[in-house]
Each structure stands twice: as structure tokens, then as C-alpha cells.
Amino acid sequence: MVLMYAIIQNDKTFAFNQKSNNLMRHLKARIKASGPMSVAEYMKEALTNPIDGYYMKRDVFGKDGDFITSPEVSQIFGESIGIWCLNEWMQCGSPSTVQLVELGPGRGTLSDDILRVFSQFQKMKDVVSVHLVEVSEKLSEIQEEKLKSQDSQTITETQPQTDETVSHYKHCKSKYGPNVYWYKQLADIPRKFSCFVANEFFDALPIYKFQKADGSWREVLHLSSSDKRDHLEVCPAAGVVIREIADRISQDGGTCLIADYGHDGDKTDTFRGFYKHQLHDVLKDPGRADLTADVDFSYLRHMAGDSVSIYGPVTQQQFLYNMGMVVRLKKLLDNAKPENRKDLVSGFEMLINPDKMGEKFKFFAMLPKKDKDHIPAGFVPSRAS
């Protein structure tokens, strides 16, 4: 079994201040009352506990946070995804309404870049609405500040969540025109043609760990599998989300693009923590550091089933090259002030360098089954060097 015995076995493991870490005291009390908890339970509490969860009360992104995401590195990243959504929307016949759905929107930078691309195409601008899945009140405030039009008021819904007429918890008008809505979960978003986008979302979902012993997988249950690995990380929450997206695409139409660091079923122990951009003991000071695990794209492919066409994963380097990132960089450099050119080049380098983000991050897409002969933009074999 892979269980968090250490939390109650040895306080010195964590070097924490009990007076300042209420979440640690909560976890210790819970374990003493109910017994050891799984890695998934621990990860969920550490990241999304309503009172002291890592994502719930502060801005964790950027140089002053614990990690930086691709949309924060360069605008070209978000613009490339915006072009991808626009292209695939047209390939699907340019439906008269389209929902841009982002899971885990961070600071709102990615949606902002995508909307800026959409604003250059009046036909898309007139039919799109934005739907953000965000459980953190603090991050939703940051997203609102990023996206909201200056002359728009944010309306917070007071109706109970059981009211079928209102499923979002707030909404406003964006500075680009389309309305923006916030939700606590994917299931609350209306069933319409949607472009689903998820950048570094799945890696934060709780995982279960399984260790092979005496020919069987052990955690709380036995798992029969033909996998050759002797250690597995399984994320049922990711399976639920990907299954729901696949069902929506097959029934309502739409597309899905996922960007995350991960593997295609060939890695074992990837569970780790980050604090101030450095690796951090996953059991030390819960709620104060990011916890993450590589996405197993082979598992996502399996859970998506055969109701949709699946592409990837391909490396971030390959995807961005194929989306014309070099051409866009040259255009930006031509128009940039001299003092800004260095940052543009360094951002480009971070995104595509294999030793940085270029190969660590992967792209994975789902499209309607009827488009099975269509290879989506960014997923053709790369000729970049």
C-alpha cells in the first residue's frame, strides 16, 4: 500500500511550524482519527482544501510564485492556441455559437491571448462566449481583473447551485466583447459546441499510486494489468474529465486541446512538489507548495474511448513550430522596441528548447469522429530543426 504513514510517524520529517500550518494539524488529526490516507486524498487536501489549500488563497504563478506557465512566458503560446481553435472551428463548419472552455485558467492569460486572436476575426468574435472552470476564489478574481472590460460590472450569482437556470457563480463582459462565465466544475457548463483548452490542468489532479508486489498492484485494492512497469500513478479524476469532454464533443460537437508535461505510458514515479521554482519534499508543509505529477497520456487516450478522434501527444516544440511560431516571433521582433526584443527571444527559447519546455511539455487533441481523416493543425510531422 502507498499511504501517508509518515505524517503521524515523524513530525521532524516536515520541519513545519504547527502554529502557522493549520492544514498540517488538520491532516494529522484526520489520520489519527481515521487511519492513513492515500496519496490522492493528501494531494487533494494540500491543493484545494477550502481554508488552506495551495491554490485557494494566493497567486502562485510567475517569478514571485512557485512556477511559471507557458502563457506567462510568451504571448506567442496563447496566440498559437487561439489560431488552432479558430482553424478547427472552421474545419467543423463554423458553428453559429461556440464556447471557449478553459480548465484551470491560471491568471487568465491564455484566455486573454486567445480572445485577442478571435477579436481579429469578426465572425468568430460575434459567436463566442468564454467559460472558465475555476475552484479558487482568489484566482478567479485575478482572471476577472485580466479579462474584464473597464466599463463592465461583474455579476455574482446569488441563486443556489441547485437552480437549473444558473450554473455559473459569476460573469462579466470581456474587454474584447464576448461574455465570460465562471464555474466550479465542468458539468455545470451548458452543452453546446465547445473548444476545450487545458494548459497544466491535468497535472494538478489527485493521483493514486500503485506498487507491484508478488505479481499484483497494491494500494487499497488489487489492480490487474498487463503493464510492464512495477510502479503506477493513476488519476481517476483525469479519466472522469476526459470522458466527459469526449462525450460532449461526440454529442454536441467541439474540439479539445490539452497542453501539459507528461508521458505516453512509460514513466513511473513522477509525484513531486515545487516551492519557489525548486523541487520540494511533497510531505513538507502541505498547502504551501505545489504538488504535481506527470500526465499519463496513454491513460487519457484509453479513457476517452473510441467516440472521438485522438491525436498526439506531440512535443510542445513540434506543435509550436507547426503553428508558425517562428514567423510570429519575427513579426513581433520587427515591431518591438529594442529593449523588449531580448525578452521575446528568451521567451521563445524557453518554450521550444528541448532542455526547457520544448520536449517536457506535450500537446494532445480530440476532435469529432467524423473528422477522423483530418489531421489538426500542429500535429503533422515537424520539419523544424
Instruction: For 326-366, write each residue's pLDDT tens digit.
Output: 999 999 999 999 999 999 999 999 999 999 999 999 999 99
- Residue 381 belongs to some domain of the structure: no
On whether the CB atoms of residues 256 and 200 are closer than 8 A, the answer is: no
Residue 285's pLDDT is what? 87
Residue 372's pLDDT is what? 61
Residue 67's pLDDT is what? 86
pLDDT, mean of residues 79-105: 96
Q: What is the DSSP string of 100-139?
A: EEEES-TTSHHHHHHHHHHTTSHHHHTTEEEEEE---HHH
Which cell numbers hold the place of 359?
520536449
- Residue 84 belongs to some domain of the structure: yes
* Count of all residues that appear for the chain in the document: 385
| Per-residue model confidence as pLDDT tens digits over 261-288 | 999 999 888 999 999 899 999 888 899 9
- Residue 33 belongs to some domain of the structure: no
Q: What are phi and psi of 80, to 5 degrees?
A: -65, -40
- Residue 110 belongs to some domain of the structure: yes
On whether the CB atoms of residues 140 and 132 are closer than 8 A, the answer is: yes
- Among the ranges given (93-97, 195-199, 284-288), the one the predictor scored with the smallest mean pLDDT: 284-288
- Residue 15 belongs to some domain of the structure: no
- Residue 314 belongs to some domain of the structure: yes
Whether pLDDT at 223 is above 60: no
**Which percentage of the chain shows pLDDT scores above 90?**
67
- Dihedral angle, C-alpha 8, 13, 17, 23, nearest 10 °: -50
- Residue 156 belongs to some domain of the structure: no
Residue 153's pLDDT is what? 79
Residue 283's pLDDT is what? 86
| Per-residue model confidence as pLDDT tens digits over 59-87 | 888 777 788 999 999 999 999 999 999 99
Query: DSSP code of 38?
Result: B
CA angle, 182 then 159 then 191, to 5° = 50
Confidence of residue 254 (pLDDT cuts 50, 70, 90): very high
Alpha helices in the chain (DSSP H): 6-9, 22-34, 39-48, 70-73, 75-91, 109-118, 122-125, 137-147, 236-252, 297-304, 316-322, 325-335, 338-352
On whether the CB atoms of residues 293 and 237 are closer than 8 A, the answer is: no
- On the question of a cis peptide bond just before residue 368, with omega within 30 degrees of 0, the verdict is no
C-alpha span between 281 and 271 (Å, rounded): 10
Confidence of residue 231 (pLDDT cuts 50, 70, 90): confident
Phi-psi region of 57 (alpha: psi -120 to 50; beta: other; left: phi over 0): alpha
Q: State the CATH number of the domain containing residue 200.
A: 3.40.50.12710
- Residue 169 belongs to some domain of the structure: no
| Per-residue model confidence as pLDDT tens digits over 176-185 | 999 999 999 9
C-alpha span between 37 and 60 (Å, rounded): 26
Closest CA to 88 of 224, 165, 231, 194: 194
Residue 22's pLDDT is what? 86
- For residue 106, the enclosing domain spans 40-148+183-205+236-260+269-371
pLDDT, mean of residues 10-39: 69
pLDDT, mean of residues 116-130: 94
| Per-residue model confidence as pLDDT tens digits over 140-189 | 999 999 999 988 778 887 654 445 567 999 999 999 999 999 999 999 99
C-alpha span between 171 and 152 (Å, rounded): 10
Residue 100's pLDDT is what? 98
Residue 14's pLDDT is what? 38
Closest CA to 194 of 117, 127, 108: 127
* Average confidence score pLDDT of the chain: 87
Total domains, the chain: 1
pLDDT, mean of residues 291-300: 96
Whether pLDDT at 256 is above 80: yes
Whether pLDDT at 226 is above 70: no
Q: How far is CA 383 from the centre of its chain?
A: 28
The reported pTM is 0.88
